[in-house]
C-alpha cells in the first residue's frame, strides 16, 4: 500500500472513530456527567471539591501558552537575523512572546483565584504588572539561553514555529463557537438546581436568556466546545519533532510522540468532565479540533512547504 493510500485509510478510520464517539456522546452526555461529576459537586458551590479536578482547571492550558511563547521567540530570532524591513515585525512578535509567557501564569492564577473566590485580585495593578514581568522574564531567558541554538537550527525551527503559532491561533475558533452556542455547564445546572436547561451539543441554548435575571456569570454558559481540552491538545505539537530532527526519527520516539499527547489530552478531558465543567461531547470536539489543527499545519509547513525552508 502506498503512503498516500495509508493516509487515506488512516483519515477514514479517524473519521469513523470520531463519528462513533460523537454519536455516543450525543446520547450519553448527561448520564456520563452525572456519573463522573456529581460526586464532587456540593450545593451552593460552583467548582468541584476534587483536588485533581481543580488542579487540571488551573494547569491544563499550559501547553498552548508554553509552545506559543517559544514559537514567538523563534520568530523574533529569525526576524532579527534576517534584517532589513523584516525587523519591523520583530517587536510585535516580541510582544506576542511576552503576552503568551504572561498568560502561561495568568491563566493558572485566574482559575486558582476563581476557585478560591478571590477574583478581585486579578484587577489589581500590581497583579497585572507582575504577570507582564513574568512574561518578559520568560522571553528574555529563552532568547538568552536558546537564541544561538535556535539560530543554528533555524531551518527546522522556522517551520516548527509557524506551525505552532497557526495551531494555537485556532483557539479563536473555540471562543467563536462558545458564546453563540451558550451551552450551560453541568456544574452550572447543578448550582442552580435545574437540569432542564441541558441541551445537546448541536443545539443553541437559550439558558443564558432564561436565567438572565439571576445575574449568572457568562462562564456558566460556555460549555461547548472545551477550551481547556483544545489547549491541552496542543501537546500534539510534539508530533512535529520527529519530522524535524533525524535523531528522533526512530520508532521509539515516534511512538512516544503520539502516546504522550494522547495520554495528556485524555487526562485533561476526563477531569474536565469530572469537574462538571464540560460534557463528553465538549471535550471530544475541543480535543479533536486541536489534533486536526496540529496535523493540518504539520502537513502544510513541514511537508507541503518543506522545500521553501531548506533554501
pLDDT value at residue 310: 61
Q: Identify the band that residue 108 occupies on the pLDDT scale cut at 50, 70 and 90.
A: very high
Asked whether the CA dihedral 248, 252, 256, 257 is positive or negative, the reply is positive
pLDDT at 144 over 70: yes
Q: Measured over all CA atoms, what is the biggest interatomic distance in the chain, rounded to whole angstroms? A: 62
Residue written as grid cell 514567538: 72
CB atoms within 10 A of CB 166: 16
What are the tens digits of pLDDT across the range 52-107?
999 999 999 999 999 999 999 999 999 998 877 778 889 999 999 999 999 999 99
The answer to which of 95-104, 170-179, 241-250 has the lowest mean pLDDT is: 241-250
DSSP 62-82: HHHHHHHHHHHHHHHHHHHHH
Can you tell me the distance from the alpha carbon of 177 to that of 298, in angstroms, rounded to the nearest whole number? 24
pLDDT value at residue 164: 97
pLDDT value at residue 167: 97
CB atoms within 10 A of CB 120: 9
What percent of the chain has a predicted confidence (pLDDT) above 70? 98
Higher-confidence position of 305 and 180: 180
What percent of the chain has a predicted confidence (pLDDT) above 90? 80
pLDDT value at residue 109: 93
User: What would the mean pLDDT of 134-142 be, rounded to a whole number?
Assistant: 97
Can you tell me the distance from the alpha carbon of 64 to that of 227, in angstroms, rounded to the nearest whole number? 10
Can you tell me the distance from the alpha carbon of 161 to that of 130, in angstroms, rounded to the nearest whole number? 27
pLDDT value at residue 129: 95
pLDDT value at residue 274: 97
pLDDT at 257 over 80: yes
Average pLDDT, the chain: 93
pLDDT value at residue 311: 59
Higher-confidence position of 110 and 308: 110
Can you tell me the distance from the alpha carbon of 256 to that of 238, in angstroms, rounded to the nearest whole number? 9
pLDDT at 30 over 70: yes
pLDDT at 2 over 70: no
User: What would the mean pLDDT of 207-219 be, rounded to a whole number?
Assistant: 85
pLDDT value at residue 1: 61
Q: Identify the band that residue 199 occupies on the pLDDT scale cut at 50, 70 and 90.
A: very high
pLDDT value at residue 82: 86
Nearest CA-CA partner of 102 in 62, 134, 125:
134
User: What would the mean pLDDT of 260-268 be, rounded to a whole number?
Assistant: 96
* Cβ-contact 32, 260 below 8 angstroms: no
pLDDT at 217 over 90: no
User: What would the mean pLDDT of 271-299 be, rounded to a whole number?
Assistant: 97
Q: Give pTM, 2 decimals.
A: 0.94
Amino acid at each position: 500500500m502506498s503512503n498516500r493510500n495509508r493516509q487515506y485509510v488512516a483519515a477514514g478510520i479517524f473519521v469513523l472513530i470520531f463519528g462513533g464517539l460523537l454519536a455516543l456522546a450525543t446520547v450519553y452526555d448527561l448520564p456520563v456527567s452525572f456519573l463522573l461529576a456529581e460526586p464532587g459537586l456540593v450545593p451552593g458551590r460552583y467548582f468541584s471539591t476534587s483536588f485533581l479536578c481543580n488542579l487540571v482547571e488551573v494547569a491544563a492550558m499550559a501547553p498552548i501558552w508554553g509552545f506559543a511563547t517559544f514559537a514567538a521567540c523563534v520568530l523574533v530570532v529569525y526576524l532579527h537575523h534576517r534584517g532589513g524591513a523584516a525587523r519591523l515585525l520583530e517587536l510585535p512578535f516580541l510582544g506576542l512572546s511576552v503576552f503568551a509567557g504572561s498568560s502561561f501564569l495568568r491563566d493558572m492564577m485566574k482559575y486558582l483565584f476563581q476557585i478560591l473566590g478571590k477574583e478581585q485580585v486579578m484587577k489589581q495593578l500590581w497583579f497585572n504588572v507582575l504577570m507582564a514581568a513574568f512574561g518578559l522574564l520568560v522571553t528574555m531567558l529563552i532568547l538568552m539561553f536558546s537564541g544561538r541554538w535556535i539560530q543554528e537550527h533555524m531551518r527546522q525551527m522556522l517551520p516548527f514555529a509557524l506551525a505552532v503559532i497557526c495551531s494555537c491561533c485556532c483557539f479563536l475558533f473555540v471562543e467563536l463557537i462558545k458564546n453563540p452556542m451558550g451551552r450551560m455547564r453541568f456544574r452550572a445546572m447543578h448550582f442552580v438546581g435545574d437540569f432542564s436547561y441541558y441541551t445537546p451539543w448541536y443545539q443553541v441554548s437559550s439558558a443564558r436568556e432564561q436565567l438572565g435575571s439571576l445575574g449568572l456569570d457568562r462562564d456558566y454558559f460556555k460549555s461547548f466546545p472545551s477550551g481547556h481540552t483544545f489547549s491541552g491538545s496542543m501537546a500534539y505539537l510534539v508530533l512535529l519533532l520527529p519530522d524535524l530532527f533525524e535523531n528522533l526519527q526512530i520508532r521509539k520516539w515516534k511512538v512516544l510522540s503520539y502516546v504522550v499527547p494522547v495520554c495528556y489530552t485524555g487526562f485533561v478531558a476526563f477531569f474536565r468532565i469530572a469537574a462538571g465543567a464540560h460534557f463528553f461531547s465538549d471535550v471530544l470536539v475541543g480535543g479533536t479540533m486541536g489534533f486536526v489543527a496540529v496535523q493540518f499545519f504539520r502537513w502544510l509547513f513541514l511537508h507541503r512547504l518543506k522545500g521553501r525552508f531548506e533554501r
